[in-house]
């Protein structure tokens, strides 16, 4: 196991019943593997807008969730539904006795959010409010929230610590939606002392489960760097476009804090332990990052090494809204959650390559 501290404590935690919204997506599915592996009962709700059903349309599960069960050797409960549908949510809450909720369900394409702000606010903010109302009425007042480093906007100081201002210079509706929900959670825990919420601010999640069975499967042209590199390496796309090599960074390309999805998933279990600690109160946000940055070209080189394939690229102009540097301080999560990232860039790239080469068309190829 990659994080011994987390593992030892997690096994000591009694089994819980957990509602996971968006559990058929990239981050959610890896968290579900962790939850099942630790003996928890998992109920996934997902509307599948960004999660392909897979080839077996008759199966009640998506291909991703079928593989999640295969990896964990456990079964989960799945309800295809939208968190904006209050009556369906009520039915799910009435069927189970949840200890807490992990809330991943959201739209996440930054560019699309600029074109369709209302869609993003309706899903990400409206959906979260509907979920919170249902939780309140069913007396389930503990939440792990899937947030993003994007709430910090343009960094005023690096590394980014959790006390860095949020909401300032959040330039797109996706980022603002994450910020707004954090603010709603702060108000909620103030209004009622029974509420507890942990917000996890992800830096740049990459990688796949070590089995190569589950991984990131973006619909259409990937907008993020790692899945784009992987699709170039596997021959689905001719070359990567590097968005600018004139930043004030060592090689001129953008620097980000890439974190292995497995580390991120383990971080959710560490956060759940915090949430369930009787001493924990209110709202707390934690960065989930490694604490160090890699440039675009460093990631390309690491991927070429891991895959043994060339990743042709061309340098083009900067992408609007991009910044030179973004990386975390990971010390608060280490201190308060006993969690820190264990996996480096080689493992990130090796796992992506295993996933991509075994599944060149993602979940649809099986
Ligand atoms: N990049 C390229 N070519 C590409 C894609 C990206 O050169 O085809 C570069 C970007 O310019 C940037 C780096 O690769 O320097 C990383 O870009 P990503 O799109 O992978 O990630 P971002 O850091 O822009 O955004 C990510 C998530 C957001 C989240 C943000 C938090 O995609 O959802 O991190 O900081 F909000």
Q: Which of 148, 176, 256 to mutate to test the pocket of ligand 1 (most atoms within 8 A of CB)?
A: 256
Element spanning 283, H or E: strand 282-288
Confidence of residue 12 (pLDDT cuts 50, 70, 90): low
pTM > 0.85? yes
Tens of pLDDT, residue by residue over 234-280, are 999 999 999 999 999 999 999 999 999 999 999 999 999 999 999 99
Per annotation, catalytic residue among 174, 228, 258, 327: 174
Phi/psi at 244 (5° precision): 95, 130
Query: From CA 325, how far away is CA 237, in angstroms rounded?
Result: 27
Ligand 1 pocket, residue 287 CB under 6 Å: no
DSSP string, 165-194: --STT--SHHHHHHHHHHHHHHHHHHH-TT
Q: Would you state the structure tokens that stand for residue 196, as one six-digit string?
A: 């507890």
CA of 228 to the centre of ligand 1 (A): 11
Ligand 1 pocket, residue 108 CB under 6 Å: yes
Nearest residue (CA) to ligand 1, atom 29: 150
How many Cβ atoms from other residues are within 10 Å of residue 220's Cβ?
A: 6
Over range 204-220, report the average pLDDT.
96
Measure the CA angle with vertex 65, ends 201 and 70; round to 5°: 115
Over range 106-128, report the average pLDDT.
96
Own/partner contacts of 74-77, CB < 8 Å, gap of 24 or more, are: 74/36, 74/37, 76/23, 76/32, 76/36, 76/42, 76/43, 76/44, 77/41, 77/42, 77/43, 77/44
Nearest residue (CA) to ligand 1, atom 32: 224
Tens of pLDDT, residue by residue over 313-323, are 999 999 998 99
What CATH number was assigned to the domain covering residues 17-364? 3.40.50.720
What pLDDT shows up at residue 102? 98
Over range 334-349, report the average pLDDT.
98
Nearest residue (CA) to ligand 1, atom 34: 204
Measure the CA angle with vertex 107, ends 214 and 361; round to 5°: 35
Is-catalytic flag, 174?
Answer: yes
What pLDDT shows up at residue 50? 86
Ligand 1 pocket, residue 296 CB under 6 Å: yes
Tens of pLDDT, residue by residue over 161-179, are 999 999 998 989 999 999 9
Instruction: Give percent of the chain with pLDDT exceeding 70.
Output: 95
Any residues with CB less than 8 A from the CB of 320 and at least 6 apart, and which? Answer: none
What pLDDT shows up at residue 365? 66
Look at residues 127, 298, 336 and name the one whose alpha carbon lies nearest to residue 206: 298
Confidence of residue 79 (pLDDT cuts 50, 70, 90): very high
Nearest residue (CA) to ligand 1, atom 8: 225
Residue 9 has pLDDT above 80, yes or no: no
CA of 120 to the centre of ligand 1 (A): 19
Per domain, the residue ranges of the chain are 17-364
CA of 229 to the centre of ligand 1 (A): 12
Q: How far is CA 90 from CA 39, 108, 125, 293, in A?
A: 25, 25, 19, 43
Tens of pLDDT, residue by residue over 280-314, are 999 999 999 999 999 999 999 999 999 999 999 99
Contact 208, 344 (CB under 8 A): no
Q: How are beta strands 294-295 and 255-256 bridged, if at all?
A: antiparallel
């Amino acid at each position: 196991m990659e994080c011994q501290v987390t593992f030892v404590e997690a096994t000591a935690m009694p089994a819980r019943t957990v509602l996971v919204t968006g559990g058929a997506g990239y981050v959610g599915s890896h968290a579900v593997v962790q939850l099942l592996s630790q003996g928890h009962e998992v109920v996934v709700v997902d509307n599948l807008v960004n999660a392909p059903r897979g080839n077996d349309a008759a199966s009640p599960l998506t291909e991703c969730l079928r593989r999640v069960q295969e990896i964990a050797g456990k079964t989960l409960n799945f309800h295809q539904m939208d968190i904006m549908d209050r009556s369906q949510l009520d039915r799910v809450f009435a069927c189970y006795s949840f200890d807490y909720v992990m809330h991943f369900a959201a739209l996440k394409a930054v560019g699309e959010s600029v074109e369709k702000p209302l869609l993003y606010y309706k899903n990400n903010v409206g959906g979260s409010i509907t979920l919170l109302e249902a939780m309140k009425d069913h007396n389930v007042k503990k939440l792990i929230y899937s947030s993003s480093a994007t709430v910090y906007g343009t960094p005023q100081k690096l590394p980014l610590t959790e006390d860095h201002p949020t909401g300032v210079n959040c330039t797109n509706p996706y980022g603002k939606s994450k910020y707004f929900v954090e603010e709603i959670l702060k108000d909620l825990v103030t209004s009622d002392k029974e509420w507890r919420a942990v917000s996890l601010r992800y830096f740049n999640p990459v990688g796949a489960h070590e089995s190569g069975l589950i991984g990131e499967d973006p619909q259409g042209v990937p907008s993020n760097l790692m899945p784009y590199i992987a699709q170039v390496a596997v021959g689905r796309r001719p070359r990567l476009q590097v968005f600018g090599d004139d930043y004030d960074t060592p090689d001129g390309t953008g620097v980000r804090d890439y974190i292995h999805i497995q580390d991120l998933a383990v971080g959710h279990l560490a956060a759940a332990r915090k949430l369930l600690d009787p001493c924990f109160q209110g709202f707390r946000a934690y960065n989930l990052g490694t604490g160090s940055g890699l440039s675009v070209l460093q990631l390309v080189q690491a991927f070429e090494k891991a895959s043994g394939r060339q990743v042709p690229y061309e340098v083009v102009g900067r992408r609007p809204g991009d910044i030179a540097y973004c990386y975390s301080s990971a010390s608060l999560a280490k201190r308060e959650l006993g969690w820190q990232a264990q996996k480096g860039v080689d493992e990130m790239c090796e796992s992506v390559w295993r996933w991509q080469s075994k599944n060149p068309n993602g979940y649809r190829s099986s």
